[in-house]
Chain A
Amino acid sequence: MFKTIKTSQLQLFAMLAAMLLIVVFFSIATDGAFISPRNISNLIRQTAIVGVLAIGMVFVIISAEIDLSVGSMMGLLGGIAAILDVWFNFPILLTVLVTVVAGLVLGLFNGWWVAYQRVPSFIVTLAGMLAFRGILVGLTDGATVAPTSSSLAIIGQSYIPSGWGISVVGLLCLGLVAKVYARRKARKQHGVENKAAKFEYAKAFVAVVVLLVLLYALESYRGIPTPILIMGGLILIATYVAKRTAFGRRVYAIGGNIEATRMSGVNVERTKMLVFGFNGMMVAVAALILTSRLGAGSPAAGNMAELDAIAACVIGGTSLAGGVGAVFGAIMGALIMASLDNGMSMLDVPTFWQLIVKGMILLFAVWLDVKTKKAQ
């Protein structure tokens, strides 16, 4: 117990420290423009798409699989949403519903090949990466589908009215405090007053402070962006699924040792297929945000997004060998990547340099992880 907590604590600290370093560096380099309310709002809006993709991807990677098709799938689903909206004038709710169901179906399709037909996920999703893009180009004839309706724009472009936003964040903070309190009470009942408790208080305290500061910054610009609220909701749901449910537990077990999990009577095939299905739904949500923000369905949309999602997971401490990872880490990874993008763009760093720096950061993050694990 001591060891595991130590590593995860260490990882968390390392990520927070990296984030802090990035913020301080860019704030100084841009004379404070980096932490202006407007830029913070922009930055976390930029995080939303990769963040949502990372939420789905982290489950796939924890189960020791990979999904290379999410970029193309996001393009295809975004294209479908745009077509429904622009060509057929579907009401927004129906568009959302159809897109999410389509995402689920595509995800389950991938998962069926991986789990029941035993084709390696690398290959299945590489095939999907090509085929989904092909379908998208075929459907749209290679042309942009635009302009999308004003109601679709709500998903990616609107802001939550101030009063609502404040109450949501307020509730979150209260919930957090209540949770920590309940845990402490449960511990006392079990008679295990735990050394990790202090760490948990500190974590909750930091989380509340960060949430309030973010709220202040966002409110002093235009309010909480809708995609961020969507991402926030998905983070809560996904964390719950990963940490609290039998399904989540089985996903970790499958990544840790699939044979032993099978021998324990777990239906590993179905679990794996559901992981891909869940991932597909996350891709659909990301696709809706993307199409709404662009105001169009583009045949090139989502190109290489799978790599950003994978990078976010890995930087966030998810092990490609499976069995290890967390939703929160993946989101931090996405935030770090987005901050680098945003900061370097503000400094007018040429695009080629941005790619090089991001590549190096990815390499460095994983190297650090390997090193700390070895030191144990």
Chain B
Amino acid sequence: MKQTLLDMRSIVKSFSGVRALNGVSIQLDRGEVLSICGENGSGKSTLMKVLSGVWPFGSYEGEIFFEGNLVKASTIRDTEALGIVIIHQELALVKELSVMENIFLGNEIGSFARLNDEEMHRRTSELLARVKLDVLPDTPIRDLGVGQQQLVEIAKALNKNVKLLILDEPTSSLTTTEIDILLNIVSELKQQGIACIYISHKLDEVLALSDWVTVIRDGDHIDTKAAAQLTQNDIISMMVGRELDELFPREEHDIGEVVLRVKHATAKQAGATRAQVEDVSFELRQGEILGIAGLIGSGRTELMQCLYGSYDGDYEAEIELEGQTVNIRSQRVALEAGIAMVPEDRKRHGIVPIMSVGRNITLSVLGKYSSWFGAVNEDKESNDIDDYIEQLKVKTASADLSIKNLSGGNQQKAIIAKCLLTHPKILILDEPTRGIDVGAKYEIYKLMFALVKQGMSIIMVSSELSEVIGISDRVLVMHEGRLKGQFDYQGLTQEMIMNCAIKEGVANV
């Protein structure tokens, strides 16, 4: 009989009485890929933390066998020694060090007094060849893109003699090309006998890559099925426990006059030779959802930062809002003018993690409840908070709970609530659904349509092409800082956007 590589048997993990995992079992053979799907907060990460030793042996019920032996890990180091390596969504590389130094960090070859650089150099080149990453071992990590960094992480894992590789949302910030490269690498590792656990919200990848798909919902093991027998809709209905009518709930809405006119937007980092945004002009109409697509690095986010006054280099743009020229030099000016933005990086730019949900929601409009040194009118404040929590269906036990305890989707809703409280005319959403589960995504789409029906205008930047097509009325495509194409959503396909976003050539504006 073939020996199972990994066998997790009825894992139960509770946090102060609440069961986060309720008897989840998974098995995996060498050279197999298992995907774990579930909404955020369903218990996926907890399961991986149990497996990788973050939660030590004894803090959970159930047993884990790896290569037939009972795992009694007390730290991540123990499981790494066994050959279980987890690569997190947030990469753990030291930006200032080189590729080689990162790969061998903590496992340096050589004596304490003198490192064997030649050997490490040679091994690094081998590893980089295995992950098909064409950079020199001495390249500093900060010069690499996110996708390349991901490959370095995998190379680092390979160096540790990995037998089971866990990838936690590896593609959420990658472009389509980068994703293809990553998926190819995983398939190749598979052929070399390395098993892989793959966690992703992107179901097309899940189906393309895996042998098995396990679905977890609210800590319960719903089912494990062969990927070949499943469709995306099957997985979604298993995840949410109900049938979703459709992924993108498009609703009819009226589009009015032009509210925003942007002319000749140009943005450049101090001292840089190439502009990140170059001479971009576009219009936005009232009640319109304008999608902005393009590869990462195409200048999408930077263009939005120019509109919101948060770009950190030199920028210029003629911006006309409802016929009035506005000069947006800071976020404050933007908010006063009626432009609000939900930033791309939720953790860094969105939330104040230790503050409560309520206080995060009212952070932009505190002045409404008091002047600088007057007492904040807390009755009025909590009325607003309760209102918006209810309207946006932010799932939280209380408005006084720290926002860091909420799932990504609910944090995102709270940030949107913060923006809406400023009563903006224009709402900019930069990657509004990244890393958010299907249910919350659906609710955010619903909300977007409700807002445009009330006359608000929305600009949405997104890497998910299906989302761009499914939600927008009109789509702009950017390429290397320039506006390269403009499409109506009707008849638009993902291929059309990709062609425009990748290929050099005449602009289609």
Listed A/B pairs (9) with beta-carbon separation below 8 Å = A1-B401, A246-B370, A246-B371, A256-B354, A260-B350, A263-B310, A264-B363, A264-B418, A265-B364
Q: Is the CB of B331 closer than 8 A to any CB of chain A?
A: yes
Q: Is the CB of A186 closer than 8 A to any CB of chain B?
A: yes
CB-CB under 8 A from B310, the residues of chain A are 262-263
A1 to chain B, nearest CB (A): 4
A:334-351 near B, CB below 8 Å: none
B491 to chain A, nearest CB (A): 37
B310 to chain A, nearest CB (A): 6
Give the size category of A's interface with B.
20 to 34
How many residue pairs link A and B with beta carbons under 8 A? The number is 92
Against B, the Cβ 8 Å flags (1 = close, 0 = not) of A232-274 are 0000000011001111011011001101111111110000000
Number of interface residues of B (CB under 8 A): 40
CB-CB under 8 A from A250, the residues of chain B are 363, 366
CB-CB under 8 A from A323, the residues of chain B are 352, 354-355
- Chain B residue with minimal CB distance to A189? B379
Q: Is the CB of A3 closer than 8 A to any CB of chain B?
A: yes
DSSP majority for the A interface?
Answer: helix
The 7 A-B residue pairs whose C-beta atoms are closest, nearest first, are: A1-B400, A256-B352, A246-B366, A265-B335, A244-B375, A264-B364, A257-B352
- Give Cα distance in the complex from A184 to B294, angstroms: 55
B101 to chain A, nearest CB (A): 27
A193 to chain B, nearest CB (A): 14
Q: Is the CB of A371 closer than 8 A to any CB of chain B?
A: no
Residue pair A257, B359 in contact (C-beta under 8 Å): no
A209 to chain B, nearest CB (A): 28
CB-CB under 8 A from B351, the residues of chain A are 257, 260
Stretch at the interface among B75-83, B110-118, B267-275, B341-349: B341-349
Residue pair B363, A253 in contact (C-beta under 8 Å): yes
- Chain B residue with minimal CB distance to A192? B398
Against A, the Cβ 8 Å flags (1 = close, 0 = not) of B9-34 are 00000000000000000000000000
Q: Is the CB of A4 closer than 8 A to any CB of chain B?
A: yes
Residue pair A259, B348 in contact (C-beta under 8 Å): yes
Of B341, B343, B400, the most chain A CB neighbours within 10 A belong to B400
Q: Which residues of B contact A (CB under 8 A)?
A: 310, 331-332, 334-336, 341, 343, 348-356, 359, 363-364, 366-367, 369-376, 379, 382, 397-398, 400-402, 405, 418, 422
CB-CB under 8 A from A264, the residues of chain B are 331, 363-364, 418
Out of A249, A262, A324, name the residue touching B366 (CB < 8 Å).
Answer: A249
B20 to chain A, nearest CB (A): 16
A1-B401, A253-B363, A265-B422 are contacts. A246–B374 as well, Cβ < 8 Å?
yes
Of B351, B352, B356, the most chain A CB neighbours within 10 A belong to B352
Against B, the Cβ 8 Å flags (1 = close, 0 = not) of A171-188 are 000000000000000100
B282 to chain A, nearest CB (A): 23
